[in-house]
Amino acid sequence: MTEIFVDADACPVKDEVVRVGERHGLVMHFVSNQWMRLDDSPLVKRVIVPDGPDMADDWIVEHIAGADVAITTDIPLAARCMEKAARVLGPTGKPFTEDSIGMALAMRELHQQLRDSGEMMGGNRGFTRQDRSRFLSALENMVQAAKRG
């Protein structure tokens, strides 16, 4: 049975995940190192992990399986989930694929080096209404594909 795993710290699409998950009757695991406000659905599972680097990531990777879907902006976590054959979607609606994950990891490393050297400033662009809409559509499609196998 397909389940959804959400890297919930600073995830802007928790409500959208709940809407899609409930529509399909899927268990949703929201993993964070702090309590979070979520719907009181029996399908919603809050997983609070201890503070520490990659504790939420490690929990997700330990529990996710091939039929499952992960929601994250964390590129290394996306790669780890894909190694377990899970489907992975970013909150802007962009799926991580076998073709894109290598480039995403390389770009992440390059941007980190540029930030560390002071050659690049600033962060990511803001989250838009179009991102939210694109995410809902992409998650719906991904869940349907995961359920079909």
With a pLDDT cut of 90, the percent of the chain lying above it is: 68
The alpha carbon of 73 is separated from its chain's Cα centroid by a whole number of angstroms, namely: 6
Give the tens place of pLDDT for each residue, 8-61. Answer: 988 999 999 999 999 999 999 999 999 999 988 999 999 999 998 899 999 999
**Mean of the pLDDT values across residues 69-96?**
93
Question: Is residue 84 within 8 Å of 71, Cβ to Cβ?
Answer: no
- Residue 112: pLDDT band with limits 50, 70, 90: low
Closest by CA to 7, choosing from 27, 28, 32, is: 32
The domains located in the chain, with CATH, are 4-148 (3.40.50)
- Residue 100: pLDDT band with limits 50, 70, 90: confident
